[in-house]
Structure 1
Amino acid sequence: MTFYDEVGGQPTFDAIVDGFYAQIPDDDILGPMYPPEDMAGARDRLAWFLAQYWGGPQTFSEQRGHPRLRMRHAHFHVNRDAAIRWLELMKNSLDQIPETTLDDTHRAAMWEHMERVAAMLINRPD
């Protein structure tokens, strides 16, 4: 059984991503990075990526190829403030997932991954 299966599969990842994207339109740092006409596409890509990373379907690779996160985010202005805000919004979303779905061990593993990704994507000085 994969991490993906242990936390409830796609519905859990959809809930995390939906909670995150619900905050984006009103966010002063991240909101401008997401064109309204591509919000649904961005949402799908993040859900596919997280599901795939944690052992779920390979939809991201099938639809988009190798994740290449740094390359795909290179044209966005991702400084330390943006990375911190991404983590804040993601934490808000994770906090909405009940512990019966995402226990402390799984939550900690997911958070550690999110911290690594946020740090890795910084591509501009402060």
Structure 2
Amino acid sequence: MTDTPKPLPRLTLRANETGPAVTETFYDQVGGHETFVKLVAEFYREIPADPVLGPMYPEADFAAAEQRLLLFLEQYWGGPSTYSEQRGHPRLRMRHTPFRVNPNARDRWLAHMRRAVDSLDLSPLHRETLWDYLERAAHAMVNSFEESAPPQ
């Protein structure tokens, strides 16, 4: 016999002990769709020319990859669930297994993403919250410690 776990009580976030409840998602707090469009566009601006990351994207797929990242980040941070509606569960590690993501690729990805995050007009708390997630996600995507890329 298995016991079904009871749902946890809903957590109410407040600005201070007696302040009003915070009801906006992170997505809403940082400016919603337009903020994430800017983040993703800025990230992809230099990716095609990156000697390590650029070859991981078939040229015809840059626009599609940009759209997938946008939809994923929007959903993750509390925006529309379009990513899951179109593609199912994110399964980030599984979707990245065809690519050799070594520490060098991770660090290059993070450098481009750092530039993109820094281009946004976010509060320090929002900037660091976003960066913390992106950094952890990038480390989780490493699937190889080989230095060279596989033949294309």
TM-score (norm 2): 0.79
CA distance in 1, matches of 2:91, 2:57: 19
- Unmatched tracts of structure 2, length 5 or more: 1-23, 147-152
CA distance in 1, matches of 2:65, 2:86: 13
Q: Determine whether 1:96 maps to 2:116.
A: no
- Unmatched tracts of structure 1, length 5 or more: none
- Residue of structure 1 in register with 2:132 after alignment: 112
Structure (1/2) with the larger helix percentage: 1
CA distance in 2, matches of 1:5, 1:97: 14
Structure showing greater radius of gyration is: 2
Greater RCO, CA 8 A, separation 6+:
1
> Superposition RMSD on alpha carbons, in Å?
0.7
Q: Determine whether 1:30 maps to 2:53.
A: yes
Q: Percent identity at matched positions?
A: 53
List structure 1 segments (4+ residues) > 2 angstroms apart after TM superposition: none
> 1:55-95 deviations in whole A, cap 9, x for unaligned?
00001101100000000000101000101110000011111
TM-score (norm 1): 0.95
CA distance in 1, matches of 2:126, 2:120: 12
- Residue of structure 1 in register with 2:37 after alignment: 14
Question: Which of 27, 39, 47 is matched with 1:4 structurally?
Answer: 27
Paired letter, 1:110: L
